[in-house]
Amino acid sequence: MSQRQRFFMMIAICLGAFLSHFTAGIVNVSLPQFTYIFQTELAIAQWITTGYLLVIASLLPFMGKLGDRYGHRVLHNYGFLLFTVSSVLVAFSTTITMLLALRIVQAIGAAMFQATNIALIAILLPKEMRGRAMGIMSTAVALGGMTGPIAGGMIASWLSWEWLFLIHVPVAILATGLAFRYIPSHEQTKKVSSLDLVGAGLFMLLVSLIIIAISNGNGWGWASQGMLILFGGVLVLVWAFVWWERRQSVPFLPVAVFRLSAVSSGLFISFTSFVLANLVLVVLPFYLLNQAHESPLTAGYMMTAYPLLLALTGPFSGWASDRYRARPLIFAGLGAMGVGVTVLAIWLEALSTVEIIAVLALIGAGMGLIASPNNSYIMRHVPLEHAGAIGGMIALTRNAGMVVGAALGLGMMNGESSQAVQPTIDAYRAVFEAGGLICLIGLFVWWYAGRLERQKKRGAEVEKA
């Protein structure tokens, strides 16, 4: 592959990573507006965002598996096409039902290229370039998540609602053209003999129920009848999925790969880091507005310190992981995030505006040190025939971690959402103390996984001797 082709391939992949997170957040500000436009309830309008994220999260491993079977390029590029066409069609919706249906189609397209982009980088780029490439992609993800709500607010103020779904279409068309032109086809290393559709369906239902339960726990009440039914359904699906998978010669999830400590610990760190980051990102704005009495504009500017440092640190950490070891970078990133939440837990009231920005920057830099080295580290240990499935699982841990972090933070801060009393400073401290505990668990798991790897290497050396 020439340098020019590699350059434009990365632009296409990064534009996809940007767009999928940009479109996830662009609608949030305008949800109340949709209740008036389509004469519906807010509980239904919220599914414009919730349904989009739920469909993506539940389909990621399945789409990764399809990429392993039929080709990652095929899934990735046709996902772009489906995403682009549905983005145009959703803007012409005449009813809320039509809008939600087309939004689901858009989410299916986004899941197709989200699940396969990491696999494409791992397969098509030389080993010494993968970390930097994944760092650049992490920057695109951060920028998409940061600019989506900002663009949504501007469109809500100045333009009609249709532009929420049309504003990104020119970029999507460009990305689609670049993907078909510059992402090369590649031979599959192994053709899977069969696709476990029953296992895939059970896993998608399981992920959907877990995310619905976590997302609604604070609103419904964790001990409410609806939540108990959902948790009962989760237990039944877990049992059914395990029972079915044990009887399959080619199970939906590559169990043998998950037995590798590098893969299982890497996925755990991916999940943990996004729980920690989203816990801070969801809760801290409430403190800035209600306790520090910052204006919404000032609070918004302060919060951008996190994605900016993530965007700056990501490519550097990816480059460093290509040349040096990834494990120390990930350990340092977890440590930086842990220091940040510990500072918030102990000195929150005493921190000035500049100091809060510095803490957010530290947490963002820590996340930047984790994301791309961890993704590269996981994929380095994955057989190529499972690259799509594990790439989809990485994306799933990212989405699931964000959902769990938000639910945990809001739940600890407010209890049930029906409470009108503003959270006390002790409630905010409790959230950040929980974040510190989560970080300690992550550090221990990462240390222990490294210990297991070192023991395995010593054992292999002894056998050779």
- With respect to residue 313, please indicate whether it lies within any of the assigned structural domains: yes
Verify that 391 and 445 share a domain, yes or no: yes
- With respect to residue 398, please indicate whether it lies within any of the assigned structural domains: yes
CA distance 5 to 27: 34
Verify that 434 and 351 share a domain, yes or no: yes
Output the domain CATH number for residue 340.
Answer: 1.20.1250.20
What per-residue confidence (pLDDT) applies to 191? 53
Verify that 360 and 245 share a domain, yes or no: no
- With respect to residue 462, please indicate whether it lies within any of the assigned structural domains: no
Verify that 230 and 175 share a domain, yes or no: no
Which of 208, 230, 251 is the last residue before a domain boundary? 251
- With respect to residue 21, please indicate whether it lies within any of the assigned structural domains: yes
- Please give the structure tokens belonging to residue 122: 């791992």
Verify that 114 and 68 share a domain, yes or no: yes
- With respect to residue 7, please indicate whether it lies within any of the assigned structural domains: yes
- Please give the structure tokens belonging to residue 54: 């739920």
Which three-class secondary structure state does DSSP give residue 150? helix
- With respect to residue 188, please indicate whether it lies within any of the assigned structural domains: no
Which of 134, 158, 182 is the last residue before a domain boundary? 182
Q: Can you give the pLDDT of all 465 residues of the chain as single tens digits? A: 788 899 999 999 999 999 988 887 788 767 778 888 888 887 788 788 778 888 888 888 889 888 888 888 999 999 999 999 999 999 999 999 999 999 999 999 999 998 898 889 888 888 888 888 888 888 888 788 778 877 887 887 788 888 989 999 999 999 999 999 999 886 555 555 567 788 888 888 888 888 788 767 767 777 888 889 988 999 999 899 888 888 877 777 777 777 888 888 999 999 999 889 888 887 888 888 888 888 867 777 888 888 888 888 888 888 888 888 888 999 999 999 999 999 999 998 889 999 999 999 999 999 989 988 898 888 888 877 777 778 888 888 887 887 788 778 877 776 533 444 567 788 888 889 999 999 999 999 999 988 888 887 777 666 665
Verify that 173 and 88 share a domain, yes or no: yes
- With respect to residue 221, please indicate whether it lies within any of the assigned structural domains: yes
What per-residue confidence (pLDDT) applies to 417? 37
| Domain encompassing residue 41 | 1-182
Q: How many CB atoms lie within 10 A of CB 235?
A: 11
Q: Sign (positive/negative) of CA torsion 33, 35, 41, 45?
A: negative
Torsion angle defined by CA atoms of residues 403, 408, 410 and 416, in that order, rounded to the nearest 10 degrees: 110
Verify that 311 and 170 share a domain, yes or no: no
pTM: 0.79
CA distance 87 to 357: 35
Verify that 111 and 62 share a domain, yes or no: yes
Verify that 19 and 36 share a domain, yes or no: yes
- With respect to residue 31, please indicate whether it lies within any of the assigned structural domains: yes
Contacts of 163 (CB under 8 A, 6+ apart): 91, 155
Number of structural domains (the chain) is: 3
Verify that 227 and 267 share a domain, yes or no: no
What per-residue confidence (pLDDT) applies to 218? 65
Verify that 269 and 411 share a domain, yes or no: yes
Which of 182, 206, 238 is the last residue before a domain boundary? 182
Cβ 76 vs Cβ 408: under 8 Å: no
CA distance 198 to 95: 33
Verify that 143 and 226 share a domain, yes or no: no
